């Protein structure tokens, strides 16, 4: 145990690296591309609406946050179309934008300089459904060879790596909504071990009947029909969440090498932490320790935090638990809290990645994006929720929280670049 | 007799594994290596599976793995198809 801990410390502490974000690509409900999505978020535009990707009329849940206006052929070559699920196409688009905005050309770097660590919670659901339908209705000879990997959680990382020639350390993180934050933490570990840059973040897409059935079985979905009243975190009328698709990918880079090549930093990944809940009924959820560990990792106290991007479950007990975490750290109404995911639904691993993107842009533009839907917080959720409209603010430090189904908690502290 | 022609093979490749930019599959590609056409072993595995299914024939996947060009691939497939016909 001691040896293992020492070894781990050695790995993590191999180099003192400032992890800076130099590139960002968002593909989410509300916008394909970072700036169009961000403009939509700042307007408070709710991108949740009726499901259009399949006929959901026979299901008890009929609302989703869909990525609209995404033309596959604009983002993915003809060669890749037959072997990619929608989720991988969304991820390839986000990765291309992240590398482009980072002005990072992997071809000009040493062979193993850039890695890929993405989070994904569900794999290629739509692709998998198609192949399984072929298997059961027509037989095994009708299942395509690409099913061997197109369904897989790691397909996004793999295809990004192949397309851009990123041969550094790579992997995939599977921790549901916490995944986007956990992936960035893993990317920072890789920087500390000597990798120059990592494409990281999270993307998910499960808007097909099979994915829908899985979400319904897992529970917690809002059955509301009105998109503006379906997902209401911290509201007394909270009744579950809405599922969405999409995510965000980043280029996270060693601050010294970024500076040396003249790259602009969007922000600094100053603190990361993850915890795991005890079995239900055997103890308290561990979101608070995750947040405390991330603040300690960043070397700051709660007083230094200017804004919190909440996990925002939209379920009464989970909302209360998060509000308790926030009041334990900051006191009642102690810090502005927001949940722009009320405009997109919960995107699985993509959700916390998009929250990181929103936090980075909030730091850049000195504005807190609004929470929509919820108008007034419940009495047992005493948090300063930014509702109605975006709120200008002086922002230096943001805390992003995420909880993944199954007991995952993660927290990330982001600091403004300058 | 059941035979697989180049046009059918290129149509299958296109349908199964897409078409790369700057490659003319309609040209004289009989002796162009699959790798130069942009098709890897998985693309060929997919095509082989469909030929087996649609022509109701069992192909020697190990032998096909050695086929580097459409000509070599077609020779092996057509050998199997004619063996089946005469059997």
In this prediction, residue B26 carries a pLDDT of 87
Instruction: Answer yes or no: is pLDDT of A177 > 80.
Output: yes
Partner-chain contact B19 A78, CB within 8 Å: yes
Distance CA B6, CA A255 (A): 54
Percent share of chain A, pLDDT over 70? 97
Residue A36 falls inside a structural domain = yes
Model confidence at A230, pLDDT cuts 50, 70, 90, reads: very high
Both A154 and A299 in one domain: the answer is no
**Which chain A residues are Cβ-neighbours of B42 within 8 angstroms?**
83, 145-146, 148
For the ranges A103-107, A234-238, A278-282, the maximum mean pLDDT occurs at: A234-238
Distance CA A144, CA A133 (A): 12
The answer to whether residue A88 neighbours chain B at the CB level (below 8 Å) is no
The answer to whether residue A333 neighbours chain B at the CB level (below 8 Å) is no
Both A209 and A288 in one domain: the answer is no
How far A87 CA lies from chain B's nearest CA (Å)?
18
Distance CA A364, CA A362 (A): 5
Q: What is the pLDDT of residues B45-83, one digit of tens each?
A: 999 999 999 999 999 989 999 999 999 999 999 999 998
Residue B57 falls inside a structural domain = yes
Comparing CB atoms, the residue among B15, B42, B53 nearest residue A146 is: B42
Q: Which of A73, A81, A145, A152 to mutate to test the interface with B (most CBs of B within 10 A)?
A: A145
Both A218 and A99 in one domain: the answer is yes
How far A140 CA lies from chain B's nearest CA (Å)?
10
**Which chain B residues are Cβ-neighbours of A142 within 8 angstroms?**
53
In this prediction, residue A14 carries a pLDDT of 61
Both A125 and A229 in one domain: the answer is yes
Mean pLDDT value across residues A96-115: 93
Mean pLDDT value across residues A187-204: 96
How far A260 CA lies from chain B's nearest CA (Å)?
36
Comparing CB atoms, the residue among B18, B49, B53 nearest residue A80 is: B18
Q: What is the pLDDT of residues A368-393, one digit of tens each?
A: 999 999 999 999 999 999 999 999 99
Model confidence at A87, pLDDT cuts 50, 70, 90, reads: very high
Q: What is the pLDDT of residues B8-50, one digit of tens each?
A: 999 999 999 998 778 888 889 999 999 999 999 999 999 999 9
Model confidence at A3, pLDDT cuts 50, 70, 90, reads: very low
Comparing CB atoms, the residue among B15, B19, B49 nearest residue A79 is: B19
In this prediction, residue B87 carries a pLDDT of 60
Mean pLDDT value across residues A28-40: 98
In this prediction, residue A331 carries a pLDDT of 98
List all residues of chain A from 137 to 156 with a beta carbon under 8 Å from chain B.
141-142, 144-146, 148
Residue A133 falls inside a structural domain = yes
In this prediction, residue A108 carries a pLDDT of 87
Comparing CB atoms, the residue among B20, B46, B53 nearest residue A146 is: B46
Mean pLDDT value across residues A221-245: 98
- The two counts, helices (H) then strands (E), for chain B are 5, 0
**If you measure CA to CA, which chain A residue comes closest to B38?**
A79
Residue A306 falls inside a structural domain = yes
Complex-level ipTM: 0.88
Partner-chain contact B16 A77, CB within 8 Å: no
**Which chain B residues are Cβ-neighbours of A145 within 8 angstroms?**
42-43, 45-46, 49
Q: What is the pLDDT of residues A391-406, one digit of tens each?
A: 999 999 999 999 999 9
Both A64 and A192 in one domain: the answer is yes
Residue B23 falls inside a structural domain = no
Both A112 and A167 in one domain: the answer is yes
Which CATH number characterizes residue A358's domain? 3.40.47.10
DSSP A363-396: HHHTEEPPB-S--S--TT---EE-BSS-EE---S
Range of the domain at B43: 6-18+28-86
**Which chain A residues are Cβ-neighbours of B17 within 8 angstroms?**
79, 82-83
Instruction: Answer yes or no: is pLDDT of B85 > 90.
Output: no
Domain boundary among A201, A229, A260: A260
Mean pLDDT value across residues A303-310: 98
Residue A114 falls inside a structural domain = yes
> Under an 8 Å CB criterion, which residues of B touch A?
15-21, 38, 42-43, 45-46, 49, 52-53
How far B17 CA lies from chain A's nearest CA (Å)?
6
The answer to whether residue A79 neighbours chain B at the CB level (below 8 Å) is yes
Partner-chain contact A78 B49, CB within 8 Å: no
Both A239 and A283 in one domain: the answer is no
Residue B1 falls inside a structural domain = no
Distance CA A180, CA A410 (A): 9
Backbone angles phi, psi at A202, to 5 degrees: -155, 145
Distance CA A51, CA A360 (A): 30
Residue B53 falls inside a structural domain = yes
Residue A6 falls inside a structural domain = no
- Segment among A35-39, A179-183, A193-197 with least mean pLDDT: A193-197
Domain boundary among A203, A237, A260: A260
CA distances from A4 to A11, A178, A273 (A): 10, 25, 19
Partner-chain contact A80 B53, CB within 8 Å: no
Q: What total of structural domains would you count in chain A?
A: 2
Range of the domain at A80: 18-260
Both A352 and A324 in one domain: the answer is yes
In this prediction, residue A400 carries a pLDDT of 99
Q: What total of structural domains would you count in chain B?
A: 1
Both A235 and A281 in one domain: the answer is no
The answer to whether residue A162 neighbours chain B at the CB level (below 8 Å) is no
Contact A95, A24 (CB under 8 A): no
DSSP A298-361: HT--GGG--EEE-----SHHHHHHHHHHHHHHH-TT-SEEE-GGGGT-B-THHHHHHHHHHHHH
**Cβ–Cβ contacts within 10 Å for residue A132, how many?**
14
Both A244 and A185 in one domain: the answer is yes
Mean pLDDT value across residues A84-96: 98
Both A39 and A140 in one domain: the answer is yes
Domain boundary among A194, A227, A260: A260
């Amino acid at each position: 145990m001691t040896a293992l801990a020492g070894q781990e410390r050695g790995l993590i502490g191999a180099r003192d690296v400032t992890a800076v974000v130099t590139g960002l690509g968002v593909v989410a409900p509300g916008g394909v591309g970072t700036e169009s999505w961000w403009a939509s978020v700042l307007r408070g535009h709710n991108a949740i609406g009726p499901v259009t990707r399949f006929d959901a009329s026979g299901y008890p849940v009929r609302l989703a946050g869909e990525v609209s206006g995404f033309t596959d052929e604009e983002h993915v070559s003809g060669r890749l179309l037959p072997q990619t699920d929608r989720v991988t196409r969304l991820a390839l688009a986000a990765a291309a934008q992240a590398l482009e905005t980072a002005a990072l050309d992997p071809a000009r770097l040493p062979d193993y300089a850039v890695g890929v660590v993405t989070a994904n919670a569900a794999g290629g659901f739509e692709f998998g459904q198609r192949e399984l339908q072929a298997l059961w209705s027509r037989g095994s000879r009708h299942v395509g060879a690409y099913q061997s990997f197109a369904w897989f959680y790691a397909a996004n990382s793999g295809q990004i790596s192949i397309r851009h020639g990123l041969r550094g350390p790579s992997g995939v993180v599977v921790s549901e909504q916490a995944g986007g934050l956990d992936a960035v933490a893993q990317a920072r570990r890789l920087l500390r071990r000597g990798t120059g840059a990592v494409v990281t973040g999270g993307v998910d897409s499960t808007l097909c009947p099979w994915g829908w059935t899985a979400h319904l079985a897992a529970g917690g979905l809002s059955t509301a029909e009105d998109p503006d009243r379906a997902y209401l975190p911290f509201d007394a009328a909270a009744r579950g969440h809405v599922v969405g698709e999409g995510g965000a990918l980043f280029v996270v880079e060693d601050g010294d090498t970024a500076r040396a090549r003249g790259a602009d930093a969007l922000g600094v990944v100053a603190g990361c932490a993850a915890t795991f809940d005890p079995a239900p009924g055997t103890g308290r959820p561990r979101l608070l320790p995750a947040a405390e560990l991330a603040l300690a990792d960043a070397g700051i106290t709660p007083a230094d935090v200017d804004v919190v991007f909440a996990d925002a479950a939209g379920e009464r007990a989970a909302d209360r638990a998060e509000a308790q975490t926030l009041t334990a750290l900051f006191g009642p109404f102690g810090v502005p809290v927001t949940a722009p995911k009320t405009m997109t639904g919960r995107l699985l691993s993509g959700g916390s990645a998009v929250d990181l993107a929103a936090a980075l842009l909030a730091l850049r533009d000195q504005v807190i994006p609004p929470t929509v839907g919820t108008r007034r917080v419940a009495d047992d959720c005493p948090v300063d929720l930014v509702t109605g409209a975006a709120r200008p603010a002086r922002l230096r430090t943001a805390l992003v929280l995420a909880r993944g189904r199954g007991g995952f908690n993660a927290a990330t502290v982001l600091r403004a670049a300058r | 007799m059941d035979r697989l022609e180049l046009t059918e093979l290129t149509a299958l490749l296109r349908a199964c594994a897409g078409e790369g930019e700057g490659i003319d599959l309609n040209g004289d590609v009989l002796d162009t290596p699959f790798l130069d056409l942009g098709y890897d072993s998985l693309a060929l595995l997919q095509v082989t599976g469909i030929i087996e299914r649609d022509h109701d024939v069992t192909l020697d996947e190990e032998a096909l793995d050695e086929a580097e060009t459409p000509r070599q691939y077609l020779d092996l497939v057509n050998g199997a198809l004619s063996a089946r016909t005469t059997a």
